[in-house]
Structure 1
């Protein structure tokens, strides 16, 4: 007996269905604890079919990494309207909310602490993390320079705060699925605005 939804679906569409489920499973449970069997069951297909598309668990994780990595990098790169001003941070968050609305576990997947210590999965995650960190560091440097602050430790401090703030925001959003990207952008503007000088 065939599983539901396995007929009449193109390869590209099937891959996207598998990726959508896998991103959430890997994002929720981590590389170490997620299983291909559970991903296949949630996608309504067989485990061998997943392997037929992606070869291995790591092959599937790599496909997920490339999907979310490109989404995040493209979103952050596009959010440069107010570069060098405090508004840039809000634009960046708004762009990320919109880009990953369909896969809210993207950040958790990319920054998964259970990834292997070496190999293609590790290297690919660090590639995308590095690109995001580089853009974040450049934005921090421009913001501080515009305010007349050139202390390298200030730069390192702000960059550290930004990375952990984005992670905290993404985790909060996962816990509040009723919040739309527009809701999150507005909330971020209110909360971050309240932290500014009076």
Structure 2
């Protein structure tokens, strides 16, 4: 959903409200164009303020990116932890996690690409902060996939490693598809994924056990 051009920089706009407008526009800019191509001038234009005001509020381009990244990363990490729950992973956990991700991103779907931005300058604070979120989310995925495999009778750590990679790429691919289909609600996407999981399970089922 495009952020409408506004006159947020005009007098009388409360500072906190103006900050939120800037963050919303910046999240869209970083999420749709990537850090490398994102422009502070474009963000300022979206909000109706000057680049000088952006610098006064958030500092550098990297500082503004970090201000967008932190709430996105915290929200996704918290929602995945909550969806996984304290009782261990069950066969229903993957779908519950996907549903929670869709819900967390609804209304600002491009925020996914703020977190998983491949254009971040290596070695900078932005890349380090994003990598810390990636590692935390991957850690949750690794624990969950290992639990599922143990339930299925596999203790091979390489099986768990492969499944973690598959899961990470699956989530990224599904979210990318969802971004291109704005008519799909989080609930509809969760049901769709449930059907796909069921179909995959049927295709891979042992015929001697069916």
Provide the C-alpha distance between the structure 2 equivalents of 1:51 and 1:58, rounded to a whole number of angstroms: 11
**Contact 1:75-1:96 at 8 Å conserved across structures:** yes
Shift in Å at residue 4 of structure 1?
Answer: 1.8
> RMSD of aligned C-alpha atoms?
1.5
Residue 24 of structure 1 is matched in structure 2 by 28
Residue 208 of structure 2 is matched in structure 1 by none
User: Runs of 5+ in structure 2 lacking a partner?
Assistant: 1-5, 206-210
Is the deviation greater in 81-90 or in 179-188? 81-90
Provide the C-alpha distance between the structure 2 equivalents of 1:196 and 1:92, rounded to a whole number of angstroms: 18
Q: Taking structure 1 as reference, are residues 89 and 74 closer, same or farther at Cα in structure 2, changes over 3 Å only?
A: same
What is the CA deviation profile of residues 150-170 of structure 1, one whole-angstrom value per residue up to 9, with x for unaligned ones? 111110110000000011011
Residue 113 of structure 1 is matched in structure 2 by 118
Shift in Å at residue 83 of structure 1?
Answer: 3.9
Residue 42 of structure 2 is matched in structure 1 by 38
Q: Which runs of 4+ in 1 moved over 6 A?
A: none
**Structure 1 segment 77-156 matched on structure 2, within 5 A:** 77-81=81-85, 83-156=88-161
Residue 55 of structure 1 is matched in structure 2 by 59
1:11 matches 2:33: no
**Contact 1:84-1:146 at 8 Å conserved across structures:** no
**Contact 2:8-2:21 at 8 Å conserved across structures:** no
TM-score, normalisation: structure 2: 0.88
Residue 65 of structure 1 is matched in structure 2 by 69
**Contact 1:90-1:189 at 8 Å conserved across structures:** yes
Shift in Å at residue 102 of structure 1?
Answer: 2.2
User: Runs of 5+ in structure 1 lacking a partner?
Assistant: none
Provide the C-alpha distance between the structure 1 equivalents of 2:165 and 2:92, rounded to a whole number of angstroms: 18
